[in-house]
Structure 1
Amino acid sequence: MTHLLTGYRLGDLALPNRVVMAPMTRVRATSDGRATPSMAAYYAQRATAGLIVSEGVQPSLAGQSNPGTPGLYTDEHVASWRPVTEAVHINGGRIFAQLMHGGRVSHPDTTGMRPVGPSAVPAVGDVFTPTGRRPAPRPRALETEEVPEHARQYADAARRAVDAGFDGVELHGANGYLIAQFLSSNANLRTDRYGDSVTNRIRFAVEATAATVDAVGAARTGIRLSPGANFWGVEERDVAELYGALLPELARLGLAYVHLEATTDEEVLLGLRRAWPGALIMNPTVPMGAKSTDRDAADHWLGLGADLIGFGRAFISNPDLVERLRTGAPIAPYDEATYYQGGDAGYLTYPTYQYTA
């Protein structure tokens, strides 16, 4: 069976192990979306991962979901990310930027503008704003001629990411954000070429991914998907058909990888593994669910055909997670209260494992 700590060739990158640091929102950027020295230290501490996927980075102001998240749509953003990617590379790591357009999961108090989505259907739940959580507002439905512009935003941000020193990008097509909203059967009520049928509902995802491949190359492009998830009220009533249609279209683009979350039945996920001919990153647990990914879950999915395994929350409290997995050292618990509070506490303050004689 494939071993978690063996190397893997991902596109042009030689990964020393199959451990992926999954993207996690930490809201430590400046108010105008610039990366900070603390962010450089945070990612550098975790550079022993085979691959780091950054927190979600908005490709435009309209795409910003939460306050305190970083962007990649200005020259200032690019300049702020260069010390981050340099710190990761100096410490021997590799890092992709996750490009995340929040779509309807946003608020005018955060961006100064009304959120957009495939249809004028609000997200379910309260969204984060600079003054606390507020009910998700009703978004403005994008006009047909506007949709390609938002697809191109991923490509424009990808160019900036490469300029900033990232090794590649991952499109956030999961967790109820814009790409997932277009895939959805209840957030997308369109009757034009971007809605109604499965063929039309996958179109935005394919166009955004194809534009990104054209911008930075297939070897530098991945995508994250959450089949059947119900984040922010997004529903998909035809999971096997929907992703069974999407993955062959993505396969034609020759992507570096697909990153799947275990948000549907294992039988369906195994069918998607068979439908996807390329590298597969598997997140064996539901993001923010009751369980975190552990070694048993990782070995289980490597045995089922995954190539790489995403670890999320374990990386928050264990900057040396790879070494702990190698030696069997205990995994330190994380403090949920510090996830989004800002500052270095609960961000840079988790120690490496201290061995005793």
Structure 2
Amino acid sequence: MPVTSVEKDLDALTMTIVADFAVPLQRLWEAYADPRQISKFWGPETWPATFVRHDMATGGRSHYYMTGPNGERSDGFWEFTSVNPPHSFEVVDGFANADGTQNPEMPTMKMRFQFEETPTGSRMTNIATFNSLEQLEQLIEMGMEEGTRSAMSQIDAVLADLASFAAGRGTETQILSDTQVRITRVIRGTAQQVWDAHNEPELMKRWLLGPDGWTMPVCKVAQEPGEQYRQEWENTETKERFGFEGELLESAAPYRSVTTEKMIGMEGPSTQNELTLTPLEAGTLLTLVITYPDVATRDMVLATGMTDGMETSYLRLENEVLASAE
């Protein structure tokens, strides 16, 4: 078990957890930065976690939920107040409603995660600061220490699993719920380069094409929240056209944007697309969480081969756009 000490300071209202790992500092950092990885160890063994949002940048936010052995659900959130990769990050941690908003009836606390190299690998120090002695005692009674020890007992297996999270695996889709899927891919480029490739029309027309034989004659980009965007593709042989349009809801360059999306000419509700870019040693982890109106729509879209089409585009992005920028 990686936890080497747990100390509670009732005067300072803190609980400090130290854990040591036989991996390099960057590897440990990425386990916390990658929503696929932190989901595998943040929750206790009997209450596994699912991160549906994880914006590891100053001003960013995470939303996760833990699922109990009988199907119970407990939601939590992080607000990132400071991020200094790969050495530290600070968050406000609290209980959340199902939509990720703070549950004001439950306490919050501040947590600072510090990462440092050691002679045998790396060390994580987590300092939780409570608002009152009553709050500290309440969370300890709720099993915070035991839950943390249980959660941390799973991290070694995640750190050892290099293959599941390596660059070169291609585009992958994970079903998060009846209405949400998460699409991930490590792009060989910086976060700024990947951001620009998603927001500069001339770059988008070079790679965002799906299978060969299509062009992108219309690429209107929304620059500010509230603005509309529009994208249209045309088959070079049949001249068939299709496209999508929507609204930019949030934008925090170069790590997060949220848009609605709807096929042009189709009736019905839009999807919501949350794009997050996370810097890694091997490049940039692109995470796209798509929220569909219902399970039937989700399954219908996945059955179209969407993931394969996205992989074709991302390969083009790496090989024809980012490689030429080096």
- Same fold judged by TM-score > 0.5? no
Structure with the bigger percentage of helix? 1
What is the TM-score with the length of structure 1 in the denominator?
Answer: 0.23
When the two structures are superposed, what TM-score results if normalisation uses the length of structure 2? 0.25
